[in-house]
Amino acid sequence: MLELRNVSHVYGNGTRALDDVTLSVPTGMFGLLGPNGAGKSTLMRTVATLQTPTSGSITFGDIDVIAEPERLRETLGYLPQDFGVYPRVSAYDMLDHMAVLKGIASAADRKATVETLLNQVNLWNVRKKAIAGFSGGMRQRFGIAQALIGNPRLIIVDEPTAGLDPEERNRFLNLLAEIGENVVVILSTHIVEDVADLCPRMAVLAGGKIRLEGAPLELIEQARGTVWAKAIARDELTDVRERYELISTRLFAGRTIVHILSEVDPGNGFEPVRGGLEDVYFATLARTRRPVDTAALAA
Ligand code: ADP
């Protein structure tokens, strides 16, 4: 279990990227969802011991992450957002080199590790090819292979599916799901479907704060009665935007379907909908934009 308590981070320019984050992350896939600038990468880098928070504490099992970063690193696999290592070296040689860096000194152990990982991420057939020539999906799978060296118990993947086509994305997420059965995997993303497809637990981070946390299905259930839909003509959109808290718009058969957030029946032709995780997410972001968070006060 990874536990963050009251973690805050203020950058040198005064940006408060994390604001009193308290979060428990159990074994399995955990989705950290938030818009750009929410603080996700700051949180991921902090847990990965690449930066020290301004205040707060982080533990992983019996490891005090801030006081004993080297102990955490021994059991950490990290795929950063900008994993920029795409050299003209073969996948095999690069992974072997990274295994040396991770401390696997025996050549026989390294061979076994590298071969197992290349098979696991489905890159065995291209192991002799330069990573520089890999597609985006292959690079991300290589990124996961290097993160898995040394059997980490904590795996952090930061925005891994951005830019992947649907097939590559599927493949990558399936791979993560297999890995996530026995270890803690934190998947940081701004893509709602990544979390909906994979994660039994999740949190929404926005403006450096945890705004929502729980199991996606329960969060969807809790949102019942607060999301309302209506088909409108496109020129009505401005009016809807002004009068209601708009959480999404979607075109369907040439009509515009709007979803709004309202704790009471808005009338005016709106029907209640059983929202999906996307509604839950956008409703949460809409609530954070309110001048006073009335929903949180009522809860
Ligand atoms: P996300 O990963 O969710 O997009 P980040 O953690 O990258 O969010 O950024 C959170 C906030 O902190 C943003 O306002 C960003 O501009 C700011 N920020 C990130 N890195 C730095 C830095 N090195 N110095 C100053 N501000 C930063």
CATH code of residue 48: 3.40.50.300
Shared domain check, 167 and 25: yes
Shared domain check, 257 and 117: no
Q: Which amino acid, one-letter code, is at 164?
A: L
Q: Last residue of some domain: 171, 186, 215?
A: 215
Q: How many other CB atoms are found less than 10 A from the CB of residue 90?
A: 15
Residue 293 has pLDDT above 60, yes or no: no
Shared domain check, 254 and 137: no
For 135-176, how does the pLDDT look when each residue is reduced to its tens digit (9 = 90+)? 888 888 899 999 999 999 999 998 888 778 888 888 888 888
Shared domain check, 68 and 204: yes
Most ligand 1 atoms within 8 A of CB, residue of 9, 11, 79, 186 to mutate: 11
The reported pTM is 0.89
Shared domain check, 229 and 160: no
Provide the token pair at 112. 């076994």
50-81 exposure pattern, b = at least 16 Cβ within 10 A, e = fewer? eeebeebebbbeebebbeebebbbebbbbbbe
The band of 31, judged by pLDDT with boundaries at 50, 70 and 90, is very high
| Comparison of pLDDT for 84 and 128, the residue scoring more | 128
Q: Nearest C-alpha to atom 24 of ligand 1 is from which residue? A: 11
Closest ligand 1 atom to the C-alpha of 36? 4
Give me ligand 1 centre to Cα 174, in Å.
29
CA-to-CA distance for 229 and 49, rounded, in angstroms? 44
Give me ligand 1 centre to Cα 284, in Å.
20
Q: Last residue of some domain: 171, 194, 215?
A: 215
Most ligand 1 atoms within 8 A of CB, residue of 10, 41, 186 to mutate: 41
CA-to-CA distance for 24 and 193, rounded, in angstroms? 22
For 197-254, how does the pLDDT look when each residue is reduced to its tens digit (9 = 90+)? 889 999 999 999 999 999 999 999 998 899 999 999 988 999 999 999 999 999 888 8
- Determine the structural domain holding residue 227 and report its residue range: 221-298
Shared domain check, 294 and 198: no
- What average pLDDT does this structure show over 101-108? 91
Shared domain check, 26 and 142: yes
CA-to-CA distance for 209 and 193, rounded, in angstroms? 21
Q: Quote the DSSP letter at residue 131.
A: G
Shared domain check, 234 and 211: no
Mean of the per-residue pLDDT values of the chain? 91
Please report the pLDDT score of residue 140 as a whole number.
Answer: 87
As for how many domains the chain has, the answer is 2
Shared domain check, 155 and 97: yes
**CA–CA–CA angle 268, 273, 275 (5° rounding):** 135
19-28 exposure pattern, b = at least 16 Cβ within 10 A, e = fewer? bebebebebb
Shared domain check, 181 and 85: yes
Residue 299 has pLDDT above 60, yes or no: no
Residues with CB under 6 A from ligand 1: 11, 13, 15, 17, 34, 36-42
Give me ligand 1 centre to Cα 49, in Å.
16
Q: Nearest C-alpha to atom 15 of ligand 1 is from which residue? A: 37
Shared domain check, 291 and 146: no
Give me ligand 1 centre to Cα 17, in Å.
6
For 242-292, how does the pLDDT look when each residue is reduced to its tens digit (9 = 90+)? 999 999 999 888 889 999 999 999 999 999 998 889 999 999 998 888 776
Residue 81 has pLDDT above 80, yes or no: no
* Least confident piece of the model among 25-34, 162-171, 180-189, 207-216: 162-171
Shared domain check, 279 and 168: no
CA-to-CA distance for 192 and 285, rounded, in angstroms? 13
Q: Last residue of some domain: 215, 236, 263?
A: 215
